[in-house]
């Protein structure tokens, strides 16, 4: 889901995530008490609130009086509009620096513990949706450090602020404001369907929630009750989060058994990099076309049957890095529209998988005995 802005918003918004079936959900253990220490000026029963309530009630088929009552509780969060603005001075993209934020020992350790704790759910999700466990683990690790950083903004406040006071200085202000208005409506629908205590639902400043940082619209479309307890809870159930992430990726076209990317080399005498980079990260070229335009592929990459994209990752002042992205690489970017994000997810998942495999017990001599006896 995902439309994204910058920095941490890119990580959060990249989830325009799920809510499918619903039922009362327990309050998150990570939610702050309903004190107003982090809240700003109440919107109250203003003309803007009444007009917004009317619009959301019509567009999301909700009772207008009820919507108005909820919005009256919302408070303006002064710092949030600034967080969605592009930086005054554009930052230099640096894949290696970005990578170091996520592929580091503490996160890998936490990911290995998460994998071992939920290995049955991860295996079941892989069997049901075809998405490898390491990809699901990578996404949850990048999004929330395995549930450690799910956000403490009251979603009602954050989404109302970004609907009623989205900064006009943003280059895509109208489009982004409309996005958050829809997410606010989706959130209210979710609250009503699941009988949630609206004051307890917290998440990122951009409105993403739970272990996988799904936006409300994605919760309503893609979340699943994967732990079988009768309701969907992405805030307290990591098992629901595992199933929902796998379902999300499958819904966006994940193909079982397909790699996400391949290494590349260049034949500079034939290289037509401008043509190859023109579609950005959308897979658009056959293997034959790739090779005709100067990309050297080895091994399994030469036998790949689907389209490829040349993915360019800048490294600050150092030369860029390149990979050949497959359709599955593109699917990961549907979670967050960033090739840097996708590579971080993939490499974190691979690192966690390697850590888990290294910690697994080796076969005993007794288990190997038949082969040793030549049977």
Q: Which residues are catalytic?
A: 143
Distance, C-alpha 94 to centroid of its chain: 20
Any idea what the Cα angle at residue 7 is, between residues 233 and 162, rounded to 5°? 65
Residue with tokens 């940082």: 213
Q: Which two tokens stand for residue 162?
A: 């970004």
Q: Which two tokens stand for residue 343?
A: 């590579």
Is-contact 173 48, C-beta < 8 A? no
Q: Which two tokens stand for residue 151?
A: 């956000």
Is-contact 47 242, C-beta < 8 A? no
**Comparing C-alpha atoms, which of 153, 152, 345, 144 is closest to residue 238?**
144
Q: Which two tokens stand for residue 12?
A: 């959060």
Is-contact 130 254, C-beta < 8 A? yes
Tell me the CB-side half-sphere exposure of residue 185, using CA atoms within 13 A.
Answer: 18
Residue 265, beta-bridge partner list: 296
DSSP string for 241-293 = HHHHHHHHHHHTT--TT--SEEE-EE-TTT--HHHHHTTTTS--B-HHHHHHT
Alpha carbons 22 and 232: distance in angstroms, whole number: 6
User: In which element (H, E) is residue 220 found?
Assistant: helix 216-222
């Amino acid at each position: 889901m995902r439309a994204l802005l910058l920095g941490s918003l890119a990580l959060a918004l990249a989830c325009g995530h799920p809510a499918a079936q619903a039922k009362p959900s327990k309050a998150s253990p990570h939610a702050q008490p309903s004190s107003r220490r982090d809240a700003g000026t109440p919107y109250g029963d203003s003309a803007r609130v009444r007009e917004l309530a009317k619009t959301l009630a019509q567009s999301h088929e909700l009772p207008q009086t009820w919507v108005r009552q909820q919005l009256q509780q919302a408070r303006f969060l002064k710092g949030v509009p600034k967080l969605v603005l592009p930086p005054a001075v554009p930052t230099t993209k640096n894949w290696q620096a970005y990578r170091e934020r996520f592929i580091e020992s503490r996160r890998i350790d936490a990911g290995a513990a998460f994998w071992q704790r939920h290995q049955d759910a991860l295996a079941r999700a892989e069997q049901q949706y075809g998405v490898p466990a390491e990809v699901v683990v990578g996404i949850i690790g990048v999004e929330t450090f395995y549930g450690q950083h799910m956000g403490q903004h009251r979603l009602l406040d954050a989404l109302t602020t970004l609907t009623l006071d989205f900064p006009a200085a943003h280059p895509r202000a109208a489009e982004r404001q409309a996005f958050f208005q829809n997410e606010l409506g989706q959130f209210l629908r979710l609250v009503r369907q699941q009988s949630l205590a609206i004051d307890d639902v917290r998440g990122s400043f951009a409105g993403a929630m739970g272990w996988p940082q799904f936006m409300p619209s994605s919760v309503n479309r893609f979340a699943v009750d994967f732990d079988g307890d009768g309701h969907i809870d992405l805030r307290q159930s990591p098992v629901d989060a595992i199933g929902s992430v796998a379902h999300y990726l499958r819904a966006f076209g994940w193909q079982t058994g397909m790699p996400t990317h391949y290494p590349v080399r260049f034949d500079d005498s034939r290289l037509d990099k401008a043509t190859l980079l023109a579609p950005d990260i959308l897979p658009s070229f056959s293997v034959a076309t790739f090779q005709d335009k100067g990309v050297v592929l080895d091994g399994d990459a030469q036998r790949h049957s689907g389209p490829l994209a040349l993915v360019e990752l800048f490294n600050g002042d150092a030369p860029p890095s390149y990979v050949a992205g497959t359709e599955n690489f593109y699917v990961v970017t549907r979670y967050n529209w960033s090739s840097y994000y996708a590579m971080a997810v993939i490499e974190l998942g691979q690192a966690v998988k390697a850590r888990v495999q290294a910690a697994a017990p080796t076969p005993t001599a007794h288990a190997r005995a038949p082969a040793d006896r030549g049977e």
